[in-house]
Chains A and B, each alone.
Chain A
């Protein structure tokens, strides 16, 4: 079974609008972390945001926020006020404490922002 599921292969949004990228995860470890990375067309992996399983508040980093719904095992990325430079592939990833620090990645969602 997939540990990280990203069901949206592609998403389209207009500039200045908000967009939500979905991520669901599967783990029985009570201690885990969830990450989002951005991969522009140039190929590098850019860390965006982190949420720990015991964190009480949803993580936020500038225009990025993580909508963490623990009971539903979802960790959706919300990008507010989209910009053309947000066009990229976005990966959700999870670290389980029992598995050490290796991250497991989803298959990614391609976001296209238009003017």
Chain B
């Protein structure tokens, strides 16, 4: 089983729908992240959390919210999805130290 698990892996939804992407990890890391990948733009940071009580906005947080339910779980929500939120979403964890990120397999979201 993957150390960082994202669900769903693929989702197609319609404009205006609420969507939740879930991330769970077995690595025991305190730090969790959500990134978005668009073709030609690399990965952009949406939100990050250093522990259950610490949530921080990244560079593109508008239109997104997160919840850190436990050390191992970090969810990303789109309250009212729009087509330009169509992207590949990655959850990642790190333990600090060098800052190396351990990624989930990604969640591909399509908003019609």
Contacts and interface: CB of A to CB of B under 8 A. Distances in A.
Interface of A: 4, 9, 33, 35, 43-45, 47, 50, 52, 91, 93, 95, 100-108
Given A44-B105, A101-B96, 5 more contacts: A35-B100, A103-B43, A103-B45, A105-B35, A107-B40
Interface in B82-112: 88, 90, 92, 94, 96, 98-103, 105-106, 108
B94 A101 contact: yes
B99 A33 contact: yes
Nearest to A91: B42
B81 to A, nearest CB: 21
Chain B: interface secondary structure? strand
A38 to B, nearest CB: 11
Interface residues of B, number: 27
A28 to B, nearest CB: 18
A4 B106 CA distance: 22
Contact of B99 (A4, A101, A105, A106): A101
Contact of B98 (A45, A52, A108): A52
Contacts of B45: 102-104
Given A44-B106, A102-B33, A107 B41 contact: yes
